[in-house]
Structure 1
Amino acid sequence: MCPSVPGEGSSTNPARPHHRASDGTSVRPDPVRPAGWQHEPPVVAVQRRTLRLLAAAQVLGGIGFGAGLSVGILLAAQVTRSEGWAGVARTSSTVVAALVAVPLAVLAARSGRRISLGLAWALATTGSVALVAAAQLADSNRLVASGLLIYGLGISGAGSAASLQGRYAATDLAAPEHRSRHLSLIVWATTVGTVLGPNLGAPGEALAGTLGLAPMAGPFVIAAVMLTLATGVILLLRPDPLLLAARYTHVDPHAPRSGTRAAMGRAWRIGGARTALVAMCAAHTVMVGVMTMTPVHMDHHGASITVVGLTISIHVLGMFAFSPLVGIAADRVGRLPVIVAGGGTLLVATVIAGTAGPSMARVTIGLFLLGVGWSLVLVPASTLLTESVPAADRTRVQGGSDAAMNVSAAIGAAGSGPLLGLIGFGGLNALSALIVLAAVPLLLRARRLPVRA
């Protein structure tokens, strides 16, 4: 008998398994006649509430850690008096995001999304508080300010990790035919934060003047408030979607199980999971590597800071704004076709950007398509990864994939600078295109893949 949802009715419909054809391939359940525990009214109600709370947390938290994208690098330059060290301090958030992804996933597997995501947003909150203090001490005690700066920018990576894992939380109770759509809604909610967060400079300075703080401290006061609210919203996730799903799929969160490394090893032997992992890491590496050096390339050709900012904003728009449409397409036509479309879009983007030369219009078009291609890969690949692995390994594999993505981002960001100097912006884009092409054989070998409950 299936468990009842606290405060709601009970479920009696067992999940309908997928079937195998005579050639051994898996056949998806008919989406026109859905069946399974995810369609029980109490579960549907919990899922709707979960999506609302996750979206709200993404918006609030995104505004919070988004401040570090622009104001954080300025504060780092002010404290360290060095652009080089400022870059190192800024990169620390990506490193921390990679380091905490797996522990957060393990915590989620044991205690649920509410505790895991809540802790991540709370840690990011302490980072914003530390950055307020760093701004205050920037002129009077640079040593202490530098320590607070590194901690603050580094631990803000926990917010980035929470934002990434929030998309997986949207799939815990989602029916197979709606997984991509629900996941994409949370990705789309990130748009608000990534647009508003980097623009906290002016209102932050005004707030700092009112509070009697250093001008650079103001944006992080706003960020701390937003991150605190995001933490509070996540703590409202009752019942916890992951723990509720575990009850229906008969996964005991307290039962002994192998670690993330073993779970990732098993996932790598599953065609769908392997395809998803490679696709996400390749797309993320290409996107971060090209995007990081685009402002430098534009500056070399005399572009104003306004034009550079507009180009990056259009790039971010491409990354997130169309994700609901991507999710609908992935649910209707399949995960693999949309991933392939994303790879093709990334190739077109690198060709346009790489051959743009001094044309800022072509660079902007290339960056926009780079964001769209990234979205076309991330949404369906995240869904494919989720439904390809057994429920007992799912959360750990999700955390492992996010860690791999962030490591890829760090490699892309660190390597793009030297590559720009060695082979130029065109060469950097050509190398990025080769990374995408390297994943093509894996996609071509992929067959019809199973959908898990």
Structure 2
Amino acid sequence: MSTLQEKIIDEVVSSPEKQKKLYKQTIITVILSQIFGGAGLAAGITVGALLVQDMLGTDSVAGIPTALFTLGSALTAYLVGRFSQKHGRRLGLASGFIIGGFGAIGVVLSAKMENIYLLFLFLFIYGAGTATNLQARYAGTDLANPNQRATAASMAMVFTTFGAVAGPNLVEITGSFADTIGIPKLAGPFLLAAVSYIMAGIVFLLRLRPDPLLVAQAIAKKSQSQELNQSINKITSENNKPIILLGAIVMIVTQIVMIAIMTMTPIHMTHHGHALGSVGLVIGIHVGSMYLPSLITGILVDKIGRNIMVIAAAVTLFISGLIATFAPGTSLFWLIIALALLGIGWNFGLISGTTLIIDGTTPLTRAKTQGSIDVWVAIGGASGGALSGVIVASSSYGTLAIVAGLISFVLIPALLLSKKKSIED
């Protein structure tokens, strides 16, 4: 850390007013980045499976794109978490977004060359943007008070909606543009993703100064001596293990359920004669439902509690799976309802789980722990994406949806066991 940076951080640490100003500045920066980031992540979930299906001519591997970019997201989550812990959010988040942008460029070039192996490689790299987009929600919480944490995390996600909803609904426009320049139509949305992710990275590079995580760490170190802080940190980590574990399980399970159903919905729709524009509409509403309710969800998590919202996540995801199972494949209306509820259930789970992780950590270990947990969230999503194609190919979309919906009820016993463990400790 440079002497000038240390001086600036010291000035913020010693001034509550400057801390409040930095908190607001950080929220605005995260919001700007999320508008771009949302547009970037929408490309993969809207046309990734269709692109591979088109190149290979089979449904059984249609879940591979989601698996690949979520695996890439897992690696990035780990690296960004470790890097951010040491060097701050600014460089970690900016790097992740820019790498994801170059991955999207690689996807476009691979589709142009019709090289499936390169496509798989660059889908993996593209996943860096997905992980970074999720990790960005933590930046807004670094300087938040305990009763603001869920709201702060949700602020970032609310504004992801603008880009995330626009992305799927620009599928036909970006596809037509790609077609005019000699690129496969289904690769068009990845052109938008490339620009969006790189812009999000630039926003962090230019605006996230001073770094909120480094400031939060400096505040923690100032409040106690280094030796005492380490002792407190160790004790806190041990006492809060049930909270951290519950938060991790909530995010992993909701990710598996959401990714599994979402991945195969475009394939299911095209099999029932829906046009690409209809697919974009359903996925756009789904992605909007993942992010737009965030501000209300954050307030609910802060006001009525983390545990109640975990239960709400399980119930909402189950109802989504139930509707997706029994709705006619030709009904655009019921598919919209099912995918909207899928997004809302994921939103409940992600924000309540995120807040539990923040509650259970301190600034001195928070980014590293967040990154490690997001690795497992991404691996869970990758597993859901990969298995979804196999399940649909061997059985049906309805089977996939009902199984995924039932899995969501794992959250209830996890919550009860966590409460029991906390009481025993």
TM-score, normalising length: structure 1: 0.78
Matched AA of 2:14: S
* Residue among 368, 371, 388 paired with 2:340: 368
**Contact preservation (8 Å) 1:5, 1:42:** no
Greater displacement, 74-83 / 276-285:
74-83
* Residue among 289, 313, 316 paired with 1:342: 313
In structure 2, runs of 5+ residues without a counterpart are: 1-5, 227-233
1:400 and 2:403 are equivalent in the alignment: no
Matched AA of 2:381: A
**Contact preservation (8 Å) 2:216, 2:363:** no
Partner of 1:173: helix, strand, or coil? coil
Higher percent of residues as helix: 2
**Contact preservation (8 Å) 2:68, 2:124:** yes
1:112 and 2:93 are equivalent in the alignment: no
Matched AA of 1:402: D
Matches within 5 A, 1:31-42: 40-42=16-18
**Contact preservation (8 Å) 1:272, 1:449:** no
* Residue among 67, 71, 89 paired with 2:43: 67
Give the deviation of 1:310 after TM superposition: 2.9
Q: What is the match of residue 231 of structure 2?
A: none
Give the deviation of 1:348 after TM superposition: 2.2
**Contact preservation (8 Å) 1:121, 1:159:** yes
Give the deviation of 1:333 after TM superposition: 1.3
Matches within 5 A, 1:11-50: 11=14, 40-50=16-26
Q: What is the match of residue 197 of structure 1?
A: 167
- In 1, Cα distance between the equivalents of 2:238 and 2:278? 43
* Residue among 145, 169, 179 paired with 1:175: 145
Q: What is the match of residue 272 of structure 1?
A: 243
- In 1, Cα distance between the equivalents of 2:79 and 2:65? 22
Partner of 2:221: helix, strand, or coil? coil
**Contact preservation (8 Å) 1:80, 1:86:** no
**Contact preservation (8 Å) 2:13, 2:19:** no
- In 1, Cα distance between the equivalents of 2:118 and 2:396? 36
**Contact preservation (8 Å) 2:99, 2:128:** yes
Q: What is the match of residue 123 of structure 1?
A: 99
Q: Can you list the C-alpha shifts for 1:315-341, whole angstroms capped at 9, x where unaligned?
A: 222211111100011111111112222
In structure 1, runs of 5+ residues without a counterpart are: 13-39, 256-262
- In 1, Cα distance between the equivalents of 2:190 and 2:398? 37
Matches within 5 A, 1:65-104: 65-70=41-46, 72=48, 76=52, 88-89=64-65, 91-104=67-80
- In 2, Cα distance between the equivalents of 1:427 and 1:322? 28
Q: What is the match of residue 32 of structure 1?
A: none
Matched AA of 1:128: A
Seen in structure 2, the aligned counterparts of structure 1 residues 84 and 52 have a Cα distance that, compared at 3 Å, is: same
- In 2, Cα distance between the equivalents of 1:84 and 1:418? 5
Give the deviation of 1:286 after TM superposition: 1.2
Q: Can you list the C-alpha shifts for 1:267-326, whole angstroms capped at 9, x where unaligned?
A: 797221111111111111111112223344445555554444433222222211111100
Q: What is the match of residue 15 of structure 1?
A: none
Seen in structure 2, the aligned counterparts of structure 1 residues 156 and 268 have a Cα distance that, compared at 3 Å, is: farther
Give the deviation of 1:117 after TM superposition: 0.6
- In 2, Cα distance between the equivalents of 1:419 and 1:219? 27
Q: What is the match of residue 351 of structure 1?
A: 322
Q: Can you list the C-alpha shifts for 1:352-396, whole angstroms capped at 9, x where unaligned?
A: 332334572334322221211111111121011111123333212
Count of aligned positions: 404
Matches within 5 A, 1:275-424: 275-358=246-329, 360=331, 361-424=333-396
- In 2, Cα distance between the equivalents of 1:157 and 1:81? 23
- In 1, Cα distance between the equivalents of 2:268 and 2:49? 19
Give the deviation of 1:171 after TM superposition: 0.8
State the structure with bigger RCO (CA 8 A, min sep 6), 1 or 2.
2
Matched AA of 1:54: V
Seen in structure 2, the aligned counterparts of structure 1 residues 47 and 448 have a Cα distance that, compared at 3 Å, is: farther
TM-score, normalising length: structure 2: 0.83
Give the deviation of 1:423 after TM superposition: 5.0
Q: What is the match of residue 411 of structure 2?
A: 439
Give the deviation of 1:156 after TM superposition: 0.9
